[in-house]
Chain A
Amino acid sequence: MTASAETLLDMYRTVSRIHACDERLRNLLNQGKIFIFYYSPRGQEIIPAAVSACLGPDDYVVTTYRGLHDEIAKGAPLRELMAEILGRSDGTCRGKGGPMHISDPRSGVMVTTGVVGGGIPIANGLALASKLQGDGRVTVVNFGDGAANIGAFHEALNLAAVWNLPVVFVCQNNRYGEFTPLHETQRVEQLSTRATAYGMPGVTVDGNDPIAMYEAAARAVERARNGEGPTLLEAMTYRFMGHFYGDQMPYMDQDEYQAALAADPLPRFRALLIEQGHATEEDLAAIEKEAGAEADDAVEFAFASPPPDPSDLFEDVYAEVRR
């Protein structure tokens, strides 16, 4: 399946919204206006933009603490997302989750976990429910290369294959697990080769290439939708801002890092749209301006939202309030 001009422009809109929100959060941190641990998705924006272009609003997504791009791409409302990141009462989770634990079931964002690999087994359950209920939904679970070395990954991929679940395992391989390059922690060249061990297709794709990423995602989602089972989709990318924002990144290979920055997928995507005649400079500037305005509005909304009341603490522990 080839991405149409319309799909590519939709993806560019998504990428622009992610970039605008990420940039504003980094600016707020730089200016000392907020104090949070922030795991920037800068550099990885194309992946969820392409994956979400293949999904419907009812499909499920599971992601990790570096998940802002996945949440925005799936359609989580920016105002509530930003309010949650700031710990406000109008946040997606009423200030109880924070950026590591975004849930917004209305947009299909079911779980954001702070535990590396912890969401992978849960994605199977969402997919199993779809299979048992016959609702035709697909579940996509995002995780990093580091998660491919935790036991939950292996258990979950095996079970997904055994049960032939409608799930797509998207490994966003940004080449670093926290502060360690992946060649220190694995011997295989490509993590997708591990799929063989579970009896499912494993595909490696350039996650920074919008056209290739879309095609690979579309195939994996279609397979799941058609009852053909799970796929391990390894999307090669790069982490521009370190593990958390402010990380001095002494462990990074500087030549590799500079080369990755020079190949920033966002300006490349922009140039591609113009080169292929899908959009003009003015069209893209308008998309970026609109995304920026939406992000500004979300930030304004978040700062205006009151903090949660301490009495809210006892709600949502159990269905009924217990003290």
Chain B
Amino acid sequence: MTTVELTMGAAINQALDEALAADPTVFLLGEDIMDPAGGVMQVTKGLSTRYGRERVRETPISEQAIIGAAIGAAMAGMRPVPEIMIMDFLAVCADQLVNHAAKLRFMSGGRTNVPLTIRCLHTGGFQMGAQHSQTLEAWLCHVPGINVVFPSTPADAKGLLTACIRNDDPCVFVEPAALYGAAGPVPAGEHVVPLGQADVKRPGSDVTLITYGRQVHDCLGVAAALEGEIDVEVLDLRSLVPWDAEAMLASVSKTRRAVVVHQAVRRCGVGAEIAAFLSEELWGTLLSPVLRVAGKDTPVPYAKELEDFHLPSAADITDAVRAVAK
């Protein structure tokens, strides 16, 4: 397979470009997405110039209207890709996402469906304060009817976004802003990563680190640093709904020790669900309780010293791995 070195931002742009070229029902809508701005992070740069302002539509700062328009268009045969600039703003359009997009297939007994893909970025670590730094995937996972997708590499971002756009249900595709500039090999042309398939980013035999998004890289760093001491496997979930139960069970059945790592706050986070799942399925096999390394249960603070302390660190991950490996 031919690959090209691309940043995650460029890989996402390529996935959108290819989807717009291949399928006339695909269109984008959102704030500041048209050229010359091309998106606040330039992820949609060039697309309005190439496909026109009908298919790459600028919107007012009206998140409810954006998601509502995407829902209606999706119900009528289109495949809209709305952008909600920052994940925190999903709160502004929660009614449209939670009460409508997620439920219309079900409430109509399958007579309607809503094939839309919401792209949003999440930050954290940029001193953007409490309203621009949250990681809110647990909210989404708690609402049946939504797919929740979280890439960690440029290749996965392209393949997962393509899968989301082709999926017949609402997807929320969360882009870790910290990874936009990180480059990696990306398959040229058609590339689809099916939802619900985790990826072993590093094999190991002693402890499984289960993670997704930006923390995949933190976990790989810790695993490398612990080489020779503890053999760590890093399992990247890639999508949280649907999730890859088999991959988690296969890995943890082997290592018998697991740590879940995510940037979102700890209380009722995805880590709690994974820990419960593993203890239900592997009770008696586990050599240690499943530990969680997560954001502390506070709003995300502004000052660098406070934010660093709030976020899960490599040291926190290392401590947890050592604790379960004892």
Contact = CB atoms under 8 A, between A and B. Distances in A.
B108 A101 contact: yes
A61 B104 CA distance: 15
B100 A118 contact: yes
B68 A103 contact: no
Interface stretch (B4-12, B35-43, B72-80, B246-254): B72-80
A111 B109 contact: no
B281 to A, nearest CB: 15
A155 B60 contact: yes
A104 B167 CA distance: 23
A226 to B, nearest CB: 19
Contacts of B96: 118, 121-122, 152
A322 B239 CA distance: 15
Given A96-B106, A121-B96, A159 B75 contact: no
B240 interface: no
Interface in B95-110: 95-96, 99-100, 103-110
Nearest to B168: A319
Contacts, number: 155
Contacts of A93: 107-109, 111
A124 B69 contact: yes
A61 to B, nearest CB: 12
B75 A151 contact: no
B299 interface: no
A118 B75 CA distance: 15
A286 interface: no
Contacts of A152: 64-65, 68, 95-96
A126 B107 contact: no
Contact of A92 (B69, B111, B113): B111
> Could you say which of B65, B95, B96 has the most chain A C-beta atoms within 10 Å of its C-beta?
B65
What bracket does the count of chain B residues touching chain A fall in? Answer: 35 or more
A125 B68 contact: yes
Contact of A159 (B55, B65, B113): B65
A138 B113 CA distance: 20
A132 interface: yes
A94 B109 contact: yes
Contact of B64 (A126, A128, A155): A155
Interface stretch (A41-49, A182-190, A263-271, A310-318): A310-318
A97 B54 contact: no
B67 interface: yes
A105 B68 contact: no
B295 interface: no
> Could you say which of A91, A95, A126 has the most chain B C-beta atoms within 10 Å of its C-beta?
A126
A130 interface: yes
> Could you say which of A62, A103, A113, A122 has the most chain B C-beta atoms within 10 Å of its C-beta?
A122
> Could you say which of A101, A125, A151 has the most chain B C-beta atoms within 10 Å of its C-beta?
A125
B59 interface: yes
Interface string B11-33: 00000000000000001000000
B204 interface: no
Contacts of B104: 103, 111
A319 B169 contact: yes
A285 B168 CA distance: 48
Interface in B47-77: 54-55, 57, 59-60, 62-65, 67-77
A193 interface: no
B144 interface: yes
A20 interface: no
A317 B67 CA distance: 19
A110 interface: yes
Given A111-B75, A132-B54, A121 B67 contact: yes
Contact of A103 (B54, B71, B77, B107): B107
Contact of B68 (A94, A122, A318): A122
A155 B62 contact: yes
A126 B73 contact: yes
B168 to A, nearest CB: 4
A121 B73 contact: no
Contacts of B76: 60, 110, 125-126, 129-130, 133
Contact of A318 (B57, B65, B105): B105
A120 interface: yes
Contacts of B147: 318
B65 A132 contact: no
Given A101-B108, A105-B112, A118-B96, A125 B64 contact: no
Contact of A122 (B54, B59, B63, B71): B71
Contact of A319 (B73, B74, B113): B113
Nearest to B27: A132
Interface in B80-101: 80, 95-96, 99-100
A96 B108 CA distance: 7
A158 B169 contact: no
Contacts of B301: none
Contacts of B144: 317
A3 B99 CA distance: 39
Interface in A52-100: 60, 62, 91-97
Q: Which 5 A-B pairs have the closest CB atoms?
A: A121-B68, A125-B72, A94-B109, A129-B76, A103-B108
26 contacts: A60-B76, A96-B106, A96-B108, A103-B112, A105-B108, A118-B99, A120-B68, A122-B96, A123-B72, A124-B65, A124-B68, A124-B72, A125-B72, A125-B75, A126-B75, A128-B73, A129-B75, A129-B76, A152-B64, A155-B64, A156-B64, A156-B68, A159-B59, A316-B105, A317-B106, A319-B167
Interface of B: 27, 54-55, 57, 59-60, 62-65, 67-78, 80, 95-96, 99-100, 103-113, 144-145, 147, 167-169, 242
Interface of A: 60, 62, 91-97, 101, 103-105, 110-111, 113-115, 118, 120-130, 132-133, 139, 151-152, 155-156, 158-159, 162-163, 315-319, 322
